[in-house]
Structure 1
Amino acid sequence: MEEHILKLTVLESTDIHGFVFPVNYANNKRKELGLGKIATIIKEERKNNKNLILIDNGDILQGTPLTYYYAKINDEGINPLIKVLNLLKYDCAVVGNHEFNYGKKLLFEGVKSSKFPWLSANIIDEKTGETLFGKPYIIKEFSIKDKGLKVGILGLTTQYIPNWENASNISGIKFLSAVEEGEKWIKILREQEKVDVLIVSYHGGFERDLDNGEPSEKLTGENEGYKLCMQYPEIDVLLTGHQHRVIENKIINGVLVLQPGSYGQYLGKINISLKYENGWKIVDKNSELILVKDYKEDLEILESIKSYEDNTQKWLDTSIGEVEGDMTIKDPMEVRLKDHALIEFLNKVQMENGNVDISSTSLFDNSAKGFNGKITMRDIVSNYIYPNTLKVLRVKGEDIKEALERSACYFQQYEGGDIKVSKDFTNIKIQHYNYDMWEGINYKLDISKPIGSRVVELYYKGKPVEMHKDYDVVMNNYRASGGGEYTMFKNRPIIKDIPIDMAELIANYILERRVIKAEVDNNWEVVTSQ
């Protein structure tokens, strides 16, 4: 019998978050990322692979000044990210949680102008019960000689979106269990459509260790990739995202999984070899991550949205407000020793958006310069360098004290001379972002004392913080998840989730006021003796 071997290539982008140009918007320096560079790889792969499927796994319409400018300032023309996907001839895109951030109008207009379908089996219209984005799967057909191959691609989205998104952006929309809805549609694809290869593209990640299945985070239902693999071994490939992790060539219960990081730093690639013997059988499957820094950007793609980028760059350097007083940073260590106007301002932004009166934030990097005089959008993204969102947690007084003790570990025990940063915060990786400064409470840290006993004053509204009383605190999503060894916050009740990047919240705060005052209430300080 004549042997038929068909090689199938699947390319996955995920969590692009608006990056097309290889640029760091904070300083306009080159950065090796973005769809412009991914485009070069895609075009090369198309030349070398006849049987190719191209999928975006979600979170593409939000995340850079480019997307913010289009959504909030000037939405003329087709969404620039959609324009790029259309030009690259994507086969489909999965709906990510950040697709909802700018509201339903922008999302549905983007979907309408797409030359490819958007997929999500578990996002439905509350009134009709129908899937919100139409058919949640596509079928691609290939052939070798007279033998046809059917490939099914099913889209799923983390159902945790109502925990983050503004209610107005998702009104009338219901988010069902990805695992439960997945079962129904997997069955349809296998039994009714009779696909030979089943690919599930899930905008979600993993809540368990990929090797031993032990929980790696709280099992909330946000990231159920492991569960999908264990319950549905009939899935051949599970494409994932959402967590911004780098996962390649991993097989769980026979399912090949892939996750190509974020911001277009990688393109994921699946290689599948099939043999025809009374039907198609997969004889080999593997995955790899292609690093974009090894490729030049595609100039045709960049040129296609150059007008959007030019307008964004002009806007970045346009004043949106000004500071009355001085918010500049002259010495980063001084900022971390006593209340500073920039930190107080950031905490005020957080408190307003969280609708609470206690907040914590960080000076993430020593390159931050603060604000003085006119403020531009570029100033904002230069000072607030991470794409953090905010969460309001309900914590105990003892959690606040423990968090302050963790922050106090940032300093070496003082024995005279200059105050120094602990080696635990500078070895291997610089971790200035893991030192927090608070507003809404009054406290004093004595770094001449041993670690664990440095909080020497702690008050809320003039009274000692009660260790077993509940307090609502707003902080960034990284810290709220326990990141930076702030384990006291992990699994604490989330009272409110604000899923908008902090840079956007800062901009909105300034735009509303036009003038912000450089103020400090001196609610905290670091001392070297009592």
Structure 2
Amino acid sequence: MTQTSKLQKSRVIILETSDLHGNMLPIHYANNQPNDVGLSKVAALIAEERRREANVIVIDNGDLIQGTPLAYHHARLDNEPMDPMVSGLNYLGYDAAVLGNHEFNYGLDVLRKAVKESQFPWLCASIVDAENGEPFLGKPYLIKQLPEGIRIGILGLTTPYIPNWENSIHIEGLRFVDAVETAKKWVKLLKEQEQVDVVVVSYHGGFERHLTTGEPTEPLTGENQGYQLCMEVEGMDVLLTGHQHRSIAGVEINGVAIVQPGTAGVTLGKVQLELSNVDGKWRIDSKKSELLSVVNVEPDKKLIEFVSTYEAKTQEWLDQPIGILTGDMLVKDPMQIRLKDNALIEFINRVQMELSGASISNTALFDNVSPGFPSDITMRDIVSNYIYPNTLRVIRISGQDIKDALEQSAEYFELTPTGDVQVSSKFREPKPQHYNYDMWEGITYKLNISRPIGMRVVQLEHEGKPLNLEASYDVVMNNYRAAGGGNYAMFQDKPVIKDIPTDVAELLAGYIMERGTIEASVNENWEVIWD
């Protein structure tokens, strides 16, 4: 066989991680029990692909440096060493990474440090310098030229919806531009100027429409533009996605192979391209996407050892005693927590009210694995329940805004044909959004979920009287919600009365430590009913 004939066919493997959220080790931080997640397990899958295939490209699609106690401890308490997640990607020889929205959670200094420590480029065309319009991190694409001469262009994009969630200080000097229009510009450049044979777009965002019917599956705010990218951007061959924490593979949209590998490293996204050389030009013959599970995969021991110093410090911090609880704040049934006032949510709301001076507060039970507080509270218990690096903000809103927000939260529930309560599909798909159901303190209310959507608030009082819908009220909530995150548009652009820049987890820990002992209490100011 001649050398020329060897070059007539080639295979390229593109591997994607996304939304790792600081998950390096295969454990639950709430109790250190084994868990089938993490980069250390993904590492073994990457190694196997490289062992079998010659042309392997590995990309992280964003939300890398935030999400676990390991990531939090490094960013907030011990940021001098190299970022542990970046060190993992360096060790594994990643080709590139893309900015996710949670990359900004700890501020630009922490982000820039992580980028500087990376032995791979961070790509993002849709976040630009507010003054000169140039991409925030420099060149937003990477060209990989393979030994056969195949040129692969990799473009990074990030959802432009970040200003609706992020603390404005953390994104100062940046402008977030439409992902679709940006992609059109840069994909054209890759095809015409860089003369690439394959265009891969790695987009930290998801799909706003049903993958096969094209029907909208969420409000078309611009948060997720994956479907639109596939339909409107000419020249894309592969779209790597994330942000929604969905598991998607084996699908093409308008001829574009798509993949999304869930969250926390439960799977590794894989796209396989078969190419042939015709008259000196490479073309794609076939595309296939799949998800490789980490279940029963042995983690990379060297990588675990690599982060052992970080982990030891994190575990010591997590086991620090905070205080004592009298009463019950355990989460035995997440649905019951959301149906009637309870001690855990009331405690968080009351801490927010006391520290902010606001007389009304809201918060959420962020997921269905939050354990609540035991009688002996440690820092592990705090971060297991308050999992996001949110800060607090007091905004001035109207009584009508409060009612509208309650109606939005009431959409969380639906009744089955047999009359049982379940989470509505709107809050289950395309990913669970338990964090977008709020519970309030400082008002008295009742939601009747047997009534039509938009008409479920059947009681709403403040200080023993019907809430004045035209009056103004100062309400404390986390910064994500205060910016309108979670489709709470009624909170957007409202006057900010007070900004408390300390993480809520730190505020809760400090509150408990200062008192030594806290007591569970329930004033039963709200409930959900159905006929």
The reply to whether TM is greater than 0.5 is: yes
Shift of 1:256: 1.1
Aligned CA RMSD, in angstroms, stands at 4.2
Partner of 2:360: 357
Shift of 1:129: 3.0
8 A contact 2:128–2:177 mirrored in 1: yes
For 1:154 and 1:405, the matched residues in 2 are separated by 40
For 1:402 and 1:511, the matched residues in 2 are separated by 33
Alignment of 1:311-390 (within 5 A): 311-319=313-321, 321-323=322-324, 325-326=326-327, 328-329=329-330, 339-349=341-351, 357-362=360-365, 368-372=371-375, 374-384=376-386
Shift of 1:305: 0.6
For 2:159 and 2:424, the matched residues in 1 are separated by 36
The alignment status of 1:98 with 2:102, answered yes or no, reads yes
8 A contact 2:348–2:508 mirrored in 1: no
Q: 420, 440, 462: which is aligned to 1:423? A: 420
For 1:180 and 1:335, the matched residues in 2 are separated by 43
The alignment status of 1:23 with 2:27, answered yes or no, reads yes
Partner of 2:277: 276
Q: Deviations over 1:71-91 (max 9, x none)?
A: 111123211111100000000
The alignment status of 1:114 with 2:114, answered yes or no, reads no
Structure 2: which amino acid aligns with 1:159?
P
Q: Deviations over 1:151-175 (max 9, x none)?
A: 1101111111111111111111222
For 1:323 and 1:154, the matched residues in 2 are separated by 51
Task: Tell me: CA distance 1:355–1:52, structure 2 relative to 1, closer, same or farther (3 Å).
Answer: farther
Partner of 1:183: 184
Residue 421 of structure 2 aligns to a residue whose secondary structure is: helix
Residue 294 of structure 1 aligns to a residue whose secondary structure is: coil
Task: Tell me: CA distance 1:268–1:478, structure 2 relative to 1, closer, same or farther (3 Å).
Answer: farther
Task: Tell me: CA distance 1:211–1:435, structure 2 relative to 1, closer, same or farther (3 Å).
Answer: closer
Partner of 2:492: 494
Partner of 1:506: 505
8 A contact 1:208–1:215 mirrored in 2: yes
For 2:187 and 2:136, the matched residues in 1 are separated by 18
Task: Tell me: CA distance 1:396–1:122, structure 2 relative to 1, closer, same or farther (3 Å).
Answer: closer
Partner of 2:464: 462
For 1:432 and 1:121, the matched residues in 2 are separated by 31
For 2:162 and 2:422, the matched residues in 1 are separated by 34
Shift of 1:359: 1.5
For 2:450 and 2:126, the matched residues in 1 are separated by 52
For 2:275 and 2:9, the matched residues in 1 are separated by 6
Percent identity of the aligned residues? 45
Partner of 1:415: none
Q: Deviations over 1:390-426 (max 9, x none)?
A: 99897546546656877898999xxxxxxxx973349
8 A contact 1:205–1:240 mirrored in 2: yes
Task: Tell me: CA distance 1:166–1:29, structure 2 relative to 1, closer, same or farther (3 Å).
Answer: same
Shift of 1:233: 3.0
Shift of 1:382: 4.1
The normalised TM-score by structure 1 is 0.82
Q: 293, 297, 300: which is aligned to 2:299? A: 297
Alignment of 1:129-528 (within 5 A): 129-144=133-148, 148-278=149-279, 279-319=281-321, 321-323=322-324, 325-326=326-327, 328-329=329-330, 339-349=341-351, 357-362=360-365, 368-372=371-375, 374-384=376-386, 396=401, 398-399=403-404, 402=407, 423-425=420-422, 437-443=439-445, 457-466=459-468, 474=477, 492-495=490-493, 505-511=504-510, 514-516=513-515, 517-518=518-519, 520=521, 522=523, 524=525
8 A contact 2:414–2:423 mirrored in 1: no
Residue 310 of structure 1 aligns to a residue whose secondary structure is: helix
Shift of 1:240: 0.8
Q: Deviations over 1:480-527 (max 9, x none)?
A: 9998xxxxx6654535899xxxx9523333226632543647252669
For structure 1, which runs of at least 5 residues remain unmatched after alignment? 413-420, 484-488
Partner of 1:418: none
8 A contact 1:361–1:475 mirrored in 2: no
Partner of 2:499: none
For 1:188 and 1:141, the matched residues in 2 are separated by 16
Q: Deviations over 1:433-484 (max 9, x none)?
A: 9986431102468x9x98789977531133202467787764797999998x
- Tell me which moved more, 472-481 or 100-109: 472-481
Structure 2: which amino acid aligns with 1:149?
I
Structure 2: which amino acid aligns with 1:185?
W
For 1:200 and 1:497, the matched residues in 2 are separated by 38
For 2:214 and 2:325, the matched residues in 1 are separated by 54
Residue 31 of structure 1 aligns to a residue whose secondary structure is: coil
For 2:83 and 2:336, the matched residues in 1 are separated by 44
For 2:433 and 2:122, the matched residues in 1 are separated by 39
Q: Deviations over 1:169-218 (max 9, x none)?
A: 11112222222222221121111110011111111111111112221111
For structure 2, which runs of at least 5 residues remain unmatched after alignment? 497-501
Structure 1: which amino acid aligns with 2:180?
V
For 1:386 and 1:313, the matched residues in 2 are separated by 18
For 1:248 and 1:217, the matched residues in 2 are separated by 20
Paired positions, count = 505
Residue 305 of structure 2 aligns to a residue whose secondary structure is: helix
Structure 2: which amino acid aligns with 1:295?
V
